[in-house]
Structure 1
């Protein structure tokens, strides 16, 4: 059954890409959180970028839950 094997290989490769994206986005989001805690005078552009990073991270995390990814996402 070559077709079924190919489907599982594709899913596995896309799952790995998603895990990599989640890790990268988590690092960016944590960096924004650190800077936000230090900032005294908030700019509207900064707040918008922070919210965008947060939304991206949570979207990817939600996508991983939908795909039922098992793994250590929170490294």
Structure 2
């Protein structure tokens, strides 16, 4: 009738891995938003500017959280290496 919740064996490692995954996807989203904003030059680009600012804010929040939790990953994005 009632199921017991399964205990996560290594919760910090699991959540840190999820945080790194979210951080990487947020970086990709932010890069894509910046590219869209640069590619589309129009007088009415306030929506694009807002989307870029939102993507940047999400990435910086996740980045600060990863630094606070002292998360170190072995994944390096190609976008960071190429620049």
Instruction: Specify the TM-score bucket, using the shorter chain as the normaliser.
Output: 0.7 to 0.9
Identify, as 1 or 2, the structure richer in helix: 1
Unpaired segments ≥5 residues, structure 2: 1-6, 78-83
CA RMSD, 1 decimal: 2.0
TM-score by length of 2: 0.73
Counterpart in the other structure of 2:53:
51
Offset at residue 40 of structure 1 (A): 1.3
Equivalent of 2:69, from 59, 67, 70? 67
Q: Give the greater-gyration-radius structure (CA).
A: 2
**Residues 69 and 8 from structure 1, CA distance in 2 versus in 1: closer, same or farther, beyond 3 angstroms?**
farther
TM-score by length of 1: 0.80
The farther-off stretch of 42-51 and 26-35 is: 42-51
Offset at residue 63 of structure 1 (A): 0.4
Unpaired segments ≥5 residues, structure 1: 1-5
Higher RCO, Cα 8 Å, sep 6+: 1
2:44 is equivalent to residue 32 of structure 1:
no
